[in-house]
Chain A
Amino acid sequence: MLPDIHCPTIKLGKRSIVVFPYWIGLLILGLLFGLVGAFIVLRDGLHVTGLSNAIPWGLWISIDLSAIAMGGSAFVFGVIVYILRIKRFEAIGKLAVLLGFLGYSTAGMVLLFDLGRPLRFWHPVVYWQPHSLLWEVTMCVVLYLSVLMAELLPIVLEHPLFKTHPWLTRYKALGSLMERAHSFAHSLHKAGPVLAVAGLTLSLLHQASLGATYSVLAGRGIWFNQSAPVQFVFSAMSGGIALLFITSVFVFRVMRPGTVSDSAIYDVARLTGGITLLLTYLRVWDWAVTNYYSFDREVFLQTQILDTIAPYSLTFWLGQALLPVIAGSVLLAAKSIKNFRYLMLAAVIPILAAIITRWNYNFAGLIASISYDPFTPGIILNSYTPTWVEFSVGTLVICYWLLAFSLAARYLPFSSGHDHH
């Protein structure tokens, strides 16, 4: 059964307006704007972007990295629900699967635009180069998206539409198709633990290799960093679960009150709080190792030059160290604070921290690149300004994410009832 779903309303004078249709309308406008940019970039090629040979990766790759971080809760909750079998998180686990799917599909979509030859996106699957981190990333995204789809399908098919719609009896073919789909979904659901292990492996591999994609590049100074893979994994977990907390409050407390106990939602907050503190600890040690206990002339110069053009160090100390410590502590104390407004406010910070970490990482080594001049090597300051087409395609994928999430939040039954088997 579909639980009662309460849509958020706004009070305008005496009238109370259901926000949902207007919100969807706005997102569709965003999608249309994005489609214009998408069409232009596919027709004219990448010279319509602000990218150059000096900065070949820009806004889109940063969105890609962030979107993947936002899907970081899926593998954690896959393990919690299917392997550790902690029942009270079952409904939240379904939401995590949805977030994972949205994060990864958004990333895949934006990458498609970023490729010079989008129609050859399948090449890594056929032409293997297992030494390449990017090959591994691609394979993991492809495989993990399949896993997420397998995990998501049973959740979508739970909707009464696919069980009790009159057409299912009126059109026999449709009915038998649905029956087959349901039995397929049932076997997929039974394969949950296997999928969870596959998801955990692929996701960890992939988040770690995303960090390693940058950190194996010895020639880029600031990128060449042993702990980047671990940092990427933990920033995805911290940011991803923080997003899961915010969306859980929205989907379960606001829209489906009574489906999930408050204490389970508090536990999600505590989990992200703990991981955020762990991540911050790692980040600070990483800073100390690269900037305090060792001295690398190139890294020093790069940091210096980045600080002159942007608040690079400030975003570290404030956005990745101080605020996450506060937010992490607040979230860890969720059960004593018991105020969803404060907790949601605090949960925004790990999300921003994960995004800042990845944006800084993507741009630092490219904006301040090291020259090959043999006698007086220096740092070359490159500049990059995204064009409107890049923002347009960015809007497209972000609106896709929001639209798919909104529709799912409105229509999907996230009930935890699987007592029939």
Chain B
Amino acid sequence: MADSTNKDVEKNVSRRDLLKVGAAILGATGLTQLFSLNSLQVRGKEIPDEGGRKWGMLIDINKCIGCNYCTYACQAVNNLADDMLYNVVTAEETQSGEEYFLSRPCMQCAEAPCVHVCPVEATYYRPDGIVEMNYDRCIGCRYCQVACPYGARVFNWKDPIELSPKSPDFGVAEVENRPRGVVEKCHFCSHRIDRGLEYGLTPGVDREATPACVVVCPTGARVFGDLNDVESPVSKAREEAIVTLRLREELSTEPRVYYIPPTTKKTGPFAGEGES
């Protein structure tokens, strides 16, 4: 008798417990849904476009001959070892099978995934749109590398080198060495831009104030300047170009590097070649 009553009690308790746990799980599900929806709407702090300078680049794929000088100049100026590449030149194909060279600096996105994900704000937008690194703050978690759709970020796996192998042929180191264990990236040679502006030079026009890759390019495939200034070389070139495109535009990262796609405008040193 007593035994069966006990059993009943235990059963009841157990059922109530089950209900409690069930309700708790349902509540938990609701909470996770709430949190996950919120976290999916992640957007970093945006600096309003004040109509000030916004540095941008235009790369004419038709003019690029794949010489890699942009990469080498970048390595010399930023004092990079051979396996550290801010800028990459690759051979690609159009859908019709035509080969071309695609050179890729950092896109300096207006909606940069790397800025959104950095846990310590070590990477940030400068007011002029350049996405720059605070190397003293970076913890080396490499989330930005994972987030960047362009693979534009490089991690300092090793200790910095004394002298880049590309120096002095392609230039000399112009910026401080970064310590081992931080992520670094192309910064449109912001040190040149800042210094140049101090001396009243115009980035994109005066060599000293223009990114090294743009200056070194033997075919003038790269054009630099202020996207908000209609008189800047980059704005003029964009005006002239029939079509421009940006890489992976479907991701809404709003890159500030534009490309003139192959065959739409044949003005390079090999213009007309291969055409019959």
A and B together in one complex: yes
Interface residues, chain A, CB within 8 Å of chain B? 45-47, 51, 53-54, 56-57, 76, 79-80, 83-84, 86, 114-117, 120-121, 123-124, 127-129, 131-138, 200-201, 204-205, 207-209, 211-213, 215-220, 226, 228-230, 233, 263, 267, 271, 275, 278, 365-366, 369-370, 372-376
Interface contact A131-B40, CB-CB below 8 Å: no
Interface contact A132-B155, CB-CB below 8 Å: no
Interface contact A46-B35, CB-CB below 8 Å: no
Chain A residues closer than 8 Å to B149, beta-carbon distance: 218-220, 370, 372
Q: Return 22 A-B CB contacts under 8 Å, by A number.
A: A116-B141, A116-B180, A124-B120, A127-B121, A131-B116, A132-B42, A133-B39, A135-B119, A137-B119, A212-B42, A216-B116, A218-B149, A218-B252, A219-B113, A219-B149, A366-B146, A369-B151, A373-B90, A374-B102, A374-B245, A375-B94, A376-B94
How far, in whole Å, are A233 and B92 apart by their CA atoms in the complex? 42
The answer, yes or no, to whether B140 is at the interface (CB within 8 Å) is yes
**Secondary structure type dominating chain A contacts:** helix
Cβ-closest chain B residue relative to A111: B141
How far, in whole Å, are A376 and B262 apart by their CA atoms in the complex? 13
Interface contact B31-A204, CB-CB below 8 Å: yes
The answer, yes or no, to whether B17 is at the interface (CB within 8 Å) is yes
Interface contact B28-A372, CB-CB below 8 Å: no
Interface contact B40-A132, CB-CB below 8 Å: no
Given contacts A131-B44, A217-B117, 8 further A-B contacts (CB under 8 A): A45-B158, A115-B140, A116-B140, A120-B138, A129-B121, A132-B118, A208-B32, A365-B146
Interface locus among B19-27, B47-55, B63-71: B19-27
Give me the 7 closest cross-chain CB pairs, A-B, nearest first.
Answer: A116-B140, A219-B149, A116-B181, A229-B36, A135-B119, A56-B142, A47-B157
Shortest beta-carbon distance, A357 to chain B, in Å? 15
How far, in whole Å, are A128 and B248 apart by their CA atoms in the complex? 30
Interface contact A86-B155, CB-CB below 8 Å: no
Interface contact B259-A217, CB-CB below 8 Å: no
Q: Number of contacts between A and B (CB, 8 Å)? A: 198
Interface residues of B in 86-117 (CB under 8 A from A): 90, 92-95, 102, 104, 113, 116-117
How far, in whole Å, are A114 and B182 apart by their CA atoms in the complex? 12
Indicate which residue in B36, B43, B118 contacts A129 across the interface (CB closer than 8 Å).
B118
How far, in whole Å, are A80 and B116 apart by their CA atoms in the complex? 37
Interface contact B43-A47, CB-CB below 8 Å: no
Interface residues of B in 108-162 (CB under 8 A from A): 113, 116-122, 137-143, 145-151, 153-159
Shortest beta-carbon distance, A159 to chain B, in Å? 29
Chain B residues closer than 8 Å to A366, beta-carbon distance: 146
Shortest beta-carbon distance, B114 to chain A, in Å? 10
Shortest beta-carbon distance, B168 to chain A, in Å? 26
Chain A residues closer than 8 Å to B183, beta-carbon distance: 116
The answer, yes or no, to whether B191 is at the interface (CB within 8 Å) is no
Interface contact A213-B143, CB-CB below 8 Å: yes
How far, in whole Å, are A343 and B145 apart by their CA atoms in the complex? 43
Chain A residues closer than 8 Å to B143, beta-carbon distance: 132, 134, 213
Interface contact A53-B153, CB-CB below 8 Å: yes
Shortest beta-carbon distance, B70 to chain A, in Å? 17
Cβ-closest chain A residue relative to B249: A374
Cβ-closest chain A residue relative to B158: A47
Interface contact B92-A373, CB-CB below 8 Å: yes
Interface residues of B in 196-235 (CB under 8 A from A): none
Shortest beta-carbon distance, A84 to chain B, in Å? 5
Interface contact A132-B119, CB-CB below 8 Å: yes
Chain B residues closer than 8 Å to A135, beta-carbon distance: 119-120
Chain A residues closer than 8 Å to B94, beta-carbon distance: 375-376
How far, in whole Å, are A228 and B39 apart by their CA atoms in the complex? 11
Indicate which residue in B36, B104, B117 contacts A132 across the interface (CB closer than 8 Å).
B117
Chain B residues closer than 8 Å to A220, beta-carbon distance: 146, 149
How far, in whole Å, are A219 and B251 apart by their CA atoms in the complex? 7
Chain A residues closer than 8 Å to B39, beta-carbon distance: 133, 136, 208-209, 212, 216, 229
Interface contact A372-B137, CB-CB below 8 Å: no
Shortest beta-carbon distance, B38 to chain A, in Å? 9
The answer, yes or no, to whether B195 is at the interface (CB within 8 Å) is no
How far, in whole Å, are A233 and B90 apart by their CA atoms in the complex? 41
Interface contact A46-B157, CB-CB below 8 Å: yes
Interface contact B36-A230, CB-CB below 8 Å: yes
